[in-house]
């Protein structure tokens, strides 16, 4: 039964998307209900998988009953199950916000939304590099449609850059996959990890070049410096619920880099072991610094949120680049925090922009604003979360990362970049709040009142999820630590996929 459950998070959004396409003549209310029920079911499935994988077991599903490495295999371990839950919760709250009217701005919103979840879930569960490419293409095709949903020159221009850059990345992905298959004769990730130590001197350079090319592709998906230029315009220009869902898109790139670094080029990879070690930490530090510079220089709240996503990628990969289970565990604790906080900021920015007239979300003084206390209170909580001030989850996550960095030889650089960028985030968000709220002229809402509380409920729920990371910090960190330990022992994954049972 558990093996069949592994494929359910992939099948459910696919079938829901097909059903929504066939039922398009139905009133929008019915389609909203069906889409929300499908995402609720994905939350339930993710919780089931998380409960099972949390015991330490790794579960596989061989499509067509073809054994690995010859057939397609899906793998649910602790990391994949956690990513599924984060994605499902984020998808549910973004969809709730979209169901207030954003989904009416263009065609097939709910179909594309489900296909996006299909691609995301498949990317987290696949145990095969080629099928990772396939799921990347599915989620990117869906994201093209979601990015352009509602139209307009700004979205079209950002969408064109998004498409061209990601198509170039997909081409390089195929080159890397073809090279690895030509040399090693397999694309199953567990089998690649097993064979990596057997690579001879003649093929070593080719395999390492393919590995670094894969790293470049995943760095593009994650928006790592210098491959981040596509993100600010795309995330700031699209609709709020789509930008909120896209908060997890860069985490797919981070997830793939972690898999590449710990599994395929992990400690057992012989001469190719820790191939990314010399690249990951310096690029992560640079990404955090440049991302935060963009936050300070932003001229609007949505643009600022987009640069905060880039900065969060840098922080995540600093934790992964430490090369220890403790560092990776801290990064995995930071991952849901930054995903939910960034998504909340995108939704909140949209609500603020709707109430500032022509100024929208731009940082211009003397604007007007209704409901400043409620909007300002939520913005304040979000800013505290993102800046990493105590006692919320941002502070806990950064404390764990810095504590894990204490034995590292580059501790001075890590401390300097993380602490200085945290101070810059605090300054930038304080300035944003001052312009948006303290300098605004309060106006009364339109006659008949506004249904503001239902509109703000998804953003508030995302902030409550971050609060839950503090209230249950002990169990969450214990889960991430055991996940990191599992990832740093890739033989467990290899044995599970290639046929040897792994006891919980």
pLDDT digits (tens, 9 = 90+) for 357-380: 788 888 887 777 777 888 999 999
The verdict on residue 354 lying in a domain is: yes
Q: Are 308 and 425 within 8 A, CB to CB?
A: yes
Going from the C-alpha of 372 to that of each of 81, 326, 351, 377, 439, the distances in angstroms are 39, 41, 11, 8, 11
In a domain, 292, yes or no: yes
Give me the mean pLDDT over the 229-243 stretch: 91
Number of domains comprising the chain: 1
Average pLDDT of the chain is: 90
Q: How far is Cα 19 from Cα 35, in angstroms, rounded to an integer?
A: 10
Model confidence at 198: pLDDT above 90: no
Q: What pLDDT score was predicted for residue 481?
A: 95
Instruction: Kindly state the percentage of the chain with pLDDT values over 70.
Output: 97
Residue 502, pLDDT above cutoff 60: no
Look at residue 51 and tell me if it is in a domain: no
Residue 22, domain member (yes or no): no
Give CA angle at 466 (450, 127), nearest 5°: 115
Whole-number pLDDT of residue 277: 82
Residues 13/117, Cβ–Cβ less than 8 Å: yes
Mean pLDDT of 300-316: 95
pLDDT of residue 500: 53
101 inside domain: no
List the domain range (segments joined by +) for residue 321.
276-495
What are the tokens at 209?
């070049």
Alpha-carbon distance of 317 to 287, in angstroms, equals 9
Q: According to the model, what pLDDT value does residue 432 have?
A: 92
Average pLDDT on 51-60 reads: 86
Q: Is residue 200 part of a domain?
A: no
| Least-confidence region, from 12-16, 190-194, 222-226, 438-442 | 438-442
Give the count of beta carbons closer than 10 Å to the beta carbon of residue 226.
11
In a domain, 311, yes or no: yes
What is the pLDDT, as a whole number, of residue 1? 56
Find out whether 74 and 10 touch, Cβ atoms under 8 Å.
Answer: yes
Q: Hey, CA dihedral for 223, 226, 227, 228, is it positive or negative?
A: positive
Stretch (H or E) spanning 180: helix 153-184
pTM, full prediction: 0.93
- Residue 127 scores a pLDDT above 80: yes
Tokens 């939304």 identify what position?
A: 113
Question: In this structure, is residue 473 part of a structural domain?
Answer: yes
Distance (Å, rounded) from C-alpha 334 to C-alpha 354?
30
CA within 13 Å, CB half, 275: 31
């Amino acid at each position: 039964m558990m093996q069949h459950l592994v494929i359910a998070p992939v099948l459910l959004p696919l079938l829901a998307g097909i059903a929504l396409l066939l039922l398009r003549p139905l009133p929008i209310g019915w389609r909203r209900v069906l889409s929300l029920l499908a995402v609720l079911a994905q939350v339930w499935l993710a919780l089931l998988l998380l409960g099972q994988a949390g015991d330490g077991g790794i579960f596989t599903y061989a499509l067509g009953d073809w054994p690995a490495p010859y057939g397609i295999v899906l793998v649910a371990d602790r990391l994949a199950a956690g990513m599924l839950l984060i994605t499902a919760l984020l998808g549910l709250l973004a969809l709730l916000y979209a169901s207030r009217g954003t989904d009416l701005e263009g065609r097939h919103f709910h179909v594309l939304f489900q296909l996006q979840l299909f691609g995301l879930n498949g990317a987290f569960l696949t145990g095969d590099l080629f099928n990772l490419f396939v799921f990347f293409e599915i989620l990117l095709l869906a994201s093209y449609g979601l990015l352009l949903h509602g139209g307009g020159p700004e979205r079209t221009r950002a969408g064109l850059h998004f498409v061209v850059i990601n198509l170039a990345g997909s081409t390089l992905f195929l080159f890397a996959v073809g090279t690895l298959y030509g040399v090693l004769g397999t694309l199953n990730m567990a089998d690649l990890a097993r064979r990596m130590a057997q690579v001879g001197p003649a093929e070593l350079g080719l395999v390492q070049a393919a590995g670094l090319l894969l790293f470049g592709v995943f760095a593009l998906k994650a928006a790592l410096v210098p491959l981040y230029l596509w993100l600010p315009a795309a995330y700031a220009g699209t609709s709020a619920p789509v930008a909120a869902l896209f908060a997890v898109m860069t985490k797919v790139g981070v997830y793939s880099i972690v898999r590449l670094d710990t599994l395929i080029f992990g400690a057992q990879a012989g001469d190719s072991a820790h191939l990314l070690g010399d690249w990951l930490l310096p690029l992560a530090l640079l990404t955090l610094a440049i991302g935060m510079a963009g936050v300070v220089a932003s001229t609007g709240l949505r643009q600022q949120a987009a640069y905060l996503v880039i900065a969060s990628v840098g922080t995540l990969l600093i934790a992964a680049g430490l090369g220890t289970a403790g560092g990776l565990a801290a990064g995995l604790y930071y991952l849901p925090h930054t995903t939910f906080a960034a998504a909340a900021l995108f939704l909140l920015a949209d609500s603020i922009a709707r109430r500032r007239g022509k100024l929208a979300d731009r940082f211009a003084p003397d604007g007007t604003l209704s409901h400043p206390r409620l909007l300002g209170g939520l913005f304040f909580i979000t800013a505290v979360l993102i800046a990493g001030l105590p006692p919320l989850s941002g502070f806990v996550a950064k404390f764990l990362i810095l504590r894990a960095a204490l034995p590292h030889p580059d501790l001075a650089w890590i401390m300097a970049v993380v602490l200085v960028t945290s101070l810059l985030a605090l300054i930038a968000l304080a300035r944003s709040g001052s312009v948006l709220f303290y300098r605004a002229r309060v106006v009364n809402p339109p006659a008949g009142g506004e249904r503001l509380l239902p509109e703000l409920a998804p953003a508030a729920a995302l902030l409550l999820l971050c609060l839950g990371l503090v209230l249950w910090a002990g169990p969450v960190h214990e889960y991430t630590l055991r996940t990191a330990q599992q990832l740093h022992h890739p033989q467990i994954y290899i044995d599970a996929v290639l046929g040897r049972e792994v006891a919980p």
